[in-house]
Amino acid sequence: MSEKIEIHSIPKANKRRQLCKALPLVTTEITILADDDVSWPPNLLPWMLAPFEDEKMGGVGTNQRLRREKNPNIWNFLGAAYLIRRNWDCTACEFMDGGLPCLSGRTVAYRTDIINDPEFIYSFTHETWRSCQLNADDDNFLTRWMVNHGWKTWIQHHRDCEVQTTLENNSKYLLQCLRWARSNWRSNLKSLFVEGTVWRRHPWSTFAVFQTTLTSWSLPYDASMLWLFWQVTSTMQHDTQRIVRILFLFWVVLICRVVKYMGHFARYPEDLKYIMLIPLFGYFHSCSIKLYAMLTMHVTTWGSREGADVDDAWRLIHLPGYSPSGSDRRKPNVVNEIDEHYLEELEEQRLLLPKYDDDA
């Protein structure tokens, strides 16, 4: 192992804390975060670093593709389809107005000065969701920080900047979808109604991505469109009516969705047998997973990885309520339920409160 590589650890498993442990040790201008299950193409770094020629560029993400199993199954296809949709959404939003849903932490680069800034670190370790301190959803926080503080973000949509990753290849994939859906609810509601910067900076992305959290329920929408179209075509001649209705049904249910996956089917034609899963899983997701996620936004468990939820209580820490003190109101104690060891660690990193020199 190279002497330049250092390994550090923290007592509790949490990505926000892990980052805050490592960030003060970074000496390069760009910090790259990467998951341990990704594979990089040989020319990835030059492609990731290129956008930082723009001094206002704060974060750069990558294209993502699922690593192909030797014997792929239905779950592998659904995982691959998810990443394909994500690549399309991010690329389209970037092209339209520079916005994007989220910079994925699977592999992403940030300017070190931004994420090593004391103001960022304090906010990163003190985010709240309703009456709790939120220690999950780190990727979403990082992306929103860039947007809210005037930094640009970018996704390099190119095969030379495409990482391969893994997702669950069994029914646990549904638990991953549930976790992502909960995170989207929490983050997008904050973007829309708490911070609000996206409305001004990225109006198209707000329309195409963020507000769809509230409005995109594919099954009732498609059913309503089909019913209306059936009414509109009810007076047509029988033969014409049948052709028009079949074409419309084919267009709404299949073509509008499948166009994103043409590259995948060209590469793996054997996956054409799963083509009807694209609309069917979309209906299932919107009417069950997304709805259940909306009702359980207070849950932060992973559920899909063994041992990942041992420290789940640290992802969402309940804070004490406000209590009046004279004419002032005391803020909640943001370190409630945090053990002494971690408290000492935070003090060492100066994350709890800013410290000033005596001569300042």
| DSSP secondary structure, 208-245, as one string | IIITHHHH--HHHHHHHHHHHHHHHTTTS-HHHHHHHH
Q: How far apart are CA 108 and CA 140, in angstroms?
A: 12
**Tokens standing for 349?**
């990193």
Task: Report how far residue 104's alpha carbon sits from residue 6's, in angstroms, rounded to the nearest whole number.
Answer: 24
**pLDDT score for 336:** 38
Burial tier of 302 (Cβ tally within 10 Å: 0-12, 13-18, 19+): middle
pLDDT at res. 330: 39
- Report the amino acid identity of residue 331: K
| Residue whose C-alpha is closest to residue 209's, from 85, 330, 320, 304 | 85
Cα 352 to Cα 122: distance, rounded to the nearest angstrom: 7
For residue 107, the SS3 value is strand
Give the per-residue pLDDT at 311: 66
Cβ atoms of 66 and 165 within 8 Å: the answer is yes
Rounded CA separation 17/198 (Å): 27
Is 144:50 a contact under the CB 8 Å cutoff? no
Going from the N-terminus, what domains does the chain have, and what CATH number goes with each?
A: 15-170+183-215+309-348 (3.90.550)
- pLDDT tens for the 360 residues of the chain, in order: 677 888 998 888 889 999 999 999 999 999 999 999 999 999 999 999 999 999 999 999 999 999 999 999 999 999 999 999 999 999 999 999 999 999 999 999 999 999 999 999 999 999 999 888 999 999 999 999 999 999 999 999 999 999 999 999 999 999 999 999 999 999 999 999 999 999 999 999 999 999 999 999 999 998 998 899 999 999 999 999 999 999 998 888 788 889 999 999 999 999 999 999 999 999 999 999 999 999 999 999 876 666 666 666 778 888 776 544 444 443 444 333 444 444 455 445 444 444 434 443
What single-letter amino acid sits at 146?
M
What is the per-residue pLDDT for 321? 62
- pLDDT (0 to 100) of residue 334: 38
Q: Kindly report the length of the chain.
A: 360
* Contact of 198 with 99, CB cutoff 8 Å: yes
Backbone angles phi, psi at 323, to 5 degrees: -135, 130
CA atoms within 13 A on the CB side of 106: 22
Which pTM was predicted? 0.86
Quote the pLDDT of residue 356. 38
Q: What is the DSSP letter of 192?
A: I
Alpha-carbon distances of 48 from 42, 51, 64, 150, rounded to whole Å: 12, 7, 13, 20
Rounded Cα gap, residues 11 and 142, in angstroms: 23
Q: pLDDT value at position 245?
A: 93
Q: Which residues contact 63 (CB under 8 A, 6 or more apart)?
A: 87, 155, 156, 157, 158, 159, 161, 162, 163
Nearest-angstrom CA–CA distance, 10 and 171: 31
Question: Parallel, antiparallel, or unpaired: how do β-strands 162-165 and 57-66 relate?
Answer: parallel
Q: Which of 286, 281, 284 is nearest to 216 (CA)?
A: 286
What's the confidence (pLDDT) of residue 277?
A: 95
Q: Which two tokens stand for residue 290?
A: 């997304």
> Contact, 107 vs 34, CB < 8 A?
yes
